[in-house]
Structure 1
Amino acid sequence: MTDLITGPREHVPEGLHARVLDPRPTAVPLRAWQDRLARMESRPDPLAGADRVLVVSAHPDDETIGAGRLVAGFPGPAVAVTMTAGERCLAGEGVDAVDIGVRRVAEWRSAVSALGAEALETQRWPDGQLDRHQAEVARLLVRLAQPGDVLLVPWRHDPDRDHRALGAAAVEAAAVAGVRVVEYPVWAPYLRTPHEVGATGQALVPVDTDAEAGARWRRALGEYLSQVEPWLPGWAPLVPADLLQHHVTQLIVEGEQLHP
């Protein structure tokens, strides 16, 4: 998670704080998205016809929250990469960012395995700074992409600086490599109304996935204990429980055509 500043917690030990998107933002009412999605037809599987899926995260957990059902339901090979270790989810005196990053990457490996993907070790950049390394990220994705791939990446307009930088880099890389891109939202359904999303010229639309994919999605989420469980007694989880409720169905981004 990036665009990060201190947010309140029920109890925060002196000298230590969690970092969240905005100062504990107010979530969009779930009903707003339920009403919108209820009027939409589910889209066909956007990964159909792919030889392989390369699912890319800005931080460990993006791929599971935003695209886990798609990955779990894909019948072919899937590989996963994360561009940061997500080490900036906590800050304060005595916090060891390296240790946090090691823990989060270990959770990522377990989660993508639960989804049926292979975790691929690559270069990573500092959490919160992907916008400074966007060209390097794009070059890495060009090297990783293979003919017949689909790049599954965070949405370019997600309300997170790293997500936006990675999404833009992926679109650039896909054009060079001649592969397709499918974008997934992470924070957008939680922090943006359907109208605000539509103002970008794109939309979040539902995709049907089966019960087994949903079960594997939930198992993968359970691997991210550092994010979905409180770090300390009295804290709220770093990933709010109601954010996950906003992902009650698989969503992808529709609008601008991203085919090469």
Structure 2
Amino acid sequence: MRPRVLTGGTDPGTAVLWDEPVLTTSWPLARDARVLVVGAHPDDETIGAGRLLAAHHGRCDAVVLSAGEACLPDGDRRDLGHQRLAEWRAALSHLGVRPLEAPRWPDGELAAYVAEIEEALRETAADYDVVLAPWRHDPHPDHEAVGRAALAAAPGRVVAYPVWTPFWTTPTQLGERGARLVGLRTPASAHRAWTAAVAEYASQTRPLRPGWAPIVPAELLRRQQEQLLVVDDA
């Protein structure tokens, strides 16, 4: 066990200290494992699993189940969706991951389509040994929906990654759900690839409009400064 301090809390302005250790886990992928990474939105796969993907020696493919267009409340959504998908493909190129075309559903509404998502993932995941997916309790309804669908579509083959969990969730809340946050040692080259991939998501890491804060706060990225996974004990 490697003690580590990770800040977190439901109010980023008054962050709660993660004074419980984040455990170090063993490498979760066999060297030649065929890996499918699933995201609810473009950037989930990079923020939550980018270092793991970049360090893996086997085949890695990706699907994203929405275009992430709901960041804007008005008629610019279609253009933003195209931009985010272009960012997704560029980010994957840094990670050594191949983008796959797949059905997509409306951003922010994936919980209404869990059955359809599960069916689509079951067909796609059949060719893979491991499915990386958002943790089923990651604090975003789309992440929760995709996490549940992945577990149902590929039972026993899912490795859960956190996106917003280190930012919005405390250790107590994690424990109440029977889960632990674990860290994974990855090479420096994987961190460099992660940094380059994150930089492709300008629509998320820079203000979309003057006076707006970025959709993805710098503090969230700071709390993802190593590869984290979620282990369910329940």
Q: CA separation of 1:28/1:150 partners in 2, compared to 1, >3 Å: closer, same or farther?
A: farther
Q: How does 1:142-157 map to 2 (within 5 A)?
A: 142-157=122-137
Q: How does 1:182-197 map to 2 (within 5 A)?
A: 182-197=159-174
2:31–2:58 CA contact under 8 A, matched in 1: no
SS of the equivalent of 1:195 reads: helix
1:167 aligns to 2:147 (yes or no): yes
Could you tell me which residue of structure 2 aligns to residue 212 of structure 1?
189
Could you tell me which residue of structure 1 aligns to residue 97 of structure 2?
117
> 2:157 is matched by which residue type in structure 1?
R
1:232 aligns to 2:209 (yes or no): yes
Whole-Å separation in 2 of the counterparts to 1:171 and 1:115: 24
2:32–2:59 CA contact under 8 A, matched in 1: no
Q: Show structure 1 runs of 5+ residues with no match.
A: 1-24
Whole-Å separation in 2 of the counterparts to 1:248 and 1:200: 24
> 1:223 is matched by which residue type in structure 2?
E
- Cα offsets for 1:171-221 (capped at 9, x unmatched): 00013xxx5100011111100111111110111111111100000000000
Q: CA deviation at 1:161?
A: 0.4
Q: CA separation of 1:216/1:44 partners in 2, compared to 1, >3 Å: closer, same or farther?
A: same
Could you tell me which residue of structure 2 aligns to residue 26 of structure 1?
11
Q: CA deviation at 1:229?
A: 0.9
1:50–1:150 CA contact under 8 A, matched in 2: no
Could you tell me which residue of structure 1 aligns to residue 7 of structure 2?
none
More deviation, 134-143/233-242: 233-242
Q: How does 1:1-260 map to 2 (within 5 A)?
A: 26-27=11-12, 32-33=17-18, 35-36=19-20, 39-49=21-31, 51-92=33-74, 95-175=75-155, 180-256=157-233
1:28–1:190 CA contact under 8 A, matched in 2: no
Whole-Å separation in 2 of the counterparts to 1:217 and 1:225: 14
SS of the equivalent of 1:244 reads: helix
> 2:197 is matched by which residue type in structure 1?
A
Whole-Å separation in 1 of the counterparts to 2:165 and 2:223: 9
1:28–1:192 CA contact under 8 A, matched in 2: no
Whole-Å separation in 2 of the counterparts to 1:50 and 1:29: 43
SS of the equivalent of 2:24 reads: coil
1:54–1:79 CA contact under 8 A, matched in 2: yes
> 1:193 is matched by which residue type in structure 2?
T
- Cα offsets for 1:23-56 (capped at 9, x unmatched): xx622866723x33xx344111112355211000
RMSD, matched Cα: 1.7
SS of the equivalent of 1:88 reads: helix
- Cα offsets for 1:45-80 (capped at 9, x unmatched): 112355211000000000011110011111011000
Runs of 4+ in 1 over 4 A off after TM superposition: 28-31
Whole-Å separation in 2 of the counterparts to 1:210 and 1:28: 32
2:134–2:144 CA contact under 8 A, matched in 1: yes
More deviation, 140-149/188-197: 140-149
